[in-house]
Structure 1
Amino acid sequence: MTFVKANEPATGNQIAAFLNLTRATIRADLAVLTMTGILDARPKVGYFYSGLEENPGGYEELRKMAVHMIMTKPTLVKKETSVYDAIVTLFLEDVGSLYVAEEARLIGLVSRKDLLKSAITGSDTRSVPIATIMTRMPNILTLQKNDSVVDAANMLVTHEIDSLPVTKSDNQIIGKISKSHIVTLFVDTMKKT
């Protein structure tokens, strides 16, 4: 808010550059700030600070929430799953990432971007297993069920990713949190205040 107050009207690109993030990364955040009335947006002009309190009462509720309170069931696949079948699963389940598991333990992750790259390189998507394109543990950021929702949101924004798996200490996958979950929670909380 400080940047917008000092530089209004501030464009989305200016705000993104100040935060050292991409415009796409902060798009949902700007939408939430506009929906809640903290920022005012004027097409082809930019964002203005509306004068509303930056820390309405609902924020305290958000700060106290743990990941397990909003996580959903992850979409799991096996490492032998073909890229083609993974693409079909991604669209049928309407998710942005698939979690690769063995005996319910997270071993990898395949994002929409990974699948797109594989498909456009001309590889035989029906025979290539996703194990060849997945990001493997321990190179995957994870959450624990009692981590704060605010920390989860920060990780999503900082690392410019769409979702995070929620695991137990032995990498058993028990849920996931996405940017969509965070935005929905934020909007629902702000409607109550």
Structure 2
Amino acid sequence: MLKKNEPATGDQIARFLKLTRATIRSDLSVLTMTGILDARPKVGYFYSGLEKNPGLYEDIRSLKVGSVMSNPILVTKETSIYDAIVRLFLEDVGSLYVAEDGRLVGLVSRKDLLKSAIAGSNTKETPIATIMSRMPNLLTLRKNDDVLDAADILVAHQVDSLPVVDKDMQVIGKVSKSLIVRLFVDTLKEK
């Protein structure tokens, strides 16, 4: 798109991709930092002419979720909304995974907690079970899934993170947008 229509603003690129500008912000950052795109204030983005590195593509394509996942932050259904908000900020994460005996039963996001707090609920008394998204309506990953596929799911569904579970639905890790961006930036800087 940029080769044919440069310069293009972030909003134009987002419309072309049928995504929001916020969704592609980190992607544009990575593409600019790696030299694939050039950005000029009040003008837009330009394609820099850098061709893709097939070796780099294979490096990223071969990565598995299990090799990059981070530790999940688990809470129980009884955790109060207030305590969940505190934990979210102390751990500096966007989502908390709700588990019973280590098994995934739900997820509560920053947005869920914000909506509840704004609605005026009694955050110190109300358990997160009342606002969490529940299984089986959650997207999950397995440790042998491709990292690139995980990134695609994060972008397509506009979620901050995905829990990594084993065959018994035990939560063993998580993959977040921040982790994916950091991985891509580190990989691209190495090459």
Q: TM-score, normalised by structure 1?
A: 0.97
1:135 matched residue in structure 2: 133
Per the alignment, in what secondary structure is the counterpart of residue 83 of structure 2?
helix
Q: Which runs of 5+ in 1 are unaligned?
A: none
1:65-104 equivalences under 5 Å are 65-104=63-102
Provide the rounded CA distance (Å) in 2 between the counterparts of 1:62 and 1:187: 11
Q: Which amino acid aligns with 1:71?
A: M
Greater shift, 138-147 or 56-65, is seen at: 56-65
Q: Which amino acid aligns with 2:82?
A: Y
Identity %: 72
Q: Which of residues 167, 170, 173 in structure 2 aligns to 1:169?
A: 167
User: Root-mean-square deviation (CA), in Å?
Assistant: 0.8
2:154 matched residue in structure 1: 156
Do structure 1's residue 4 and structure 2's residue 28 form an aligned pair? no
Measured after TM superposition, the shift of residue 126 of structure 1 is 0.3
Q: Which amino acid aligns with 1:54?
A: K
Do structure 1's residue 31 and structure 2's residue 32 form an aligned pair? no
Per the alignment, in what secondary structure is the counterpart of residue 186 of structure 1?
helix
Q: Which runs of 5+ in 2 are unaligned?
A: none
Provide the rounded CA distance (Å) in 2 between the counterparts of 1:16 and 1:146: 31
Measured after TM superposition, the shift of residue 56 of structure 1 is 5.0
User: How far does the alpha carbon of each residue in 1:110-145 deviate from its partner, in whole angstroms, 9 at most, with x for none?
Assistant: 000000000000110001100000000011000000
Provide the rounded CA distance (Å) in 1 between the counterparts of 2:51 and 2:41: 23
Report how many residues are paired: 191
Per the alignment, in what secondary structure is the counterpart of residue 89 of structure 1?
helix
1:14 matched residue in structure 2: 12
Per the alignment, in what secondary structure is the counterpart of residue 99 of structure 2?
strand
Provide the rounded CA distance (Å) in 2 between the counterparts of 1:101 and 1:127: 19
Provide the rounded CA distance (Å) in 2 between the counterparts of 1:11 and 1:54: 22
Asked if the contact 1:156–1:162 (Cα under 8 Å) also holds between the matched residues in 2, the reply is yes
Q: Which of residues 161, 175, 180 in structure 1 aligns to 2:178?
A: 180
2:110 matched residue in structure 1: 112
Q: Which of residues 36, 40, 43 in structure 2 aligns to 1:42?
A: 40
Do structure 1's residue 146 and structure 2's residue 108 form an aligned pair? no
Per the alignment, in what secondary structure is the counterpart of residue 117 of structure 2?
helix
Provide the rounded CA distance (Å) in 2 between the counterparts of 1:39 and 1:57: 19
User: How far does the alpha carbon of each residue in 1:124-180 deviate from its partner, in whole angstroms, 9 at most, with x for none?
Assistant: 000110000000001100000000000000000111111000001221110000011
Q: TM-score, normalised by structure 2?
A: 0.98
User: How far does the alpha carbon of each residue in 1:21-76 deviate from its partner, in whole angstroms, 9 at most, with x for none?
Assistant: 10000000000000000000011111000000134532210000000011011000
Per the alignment, in what secondary structure is the counterpart of residue 57 of structure 1?
helix
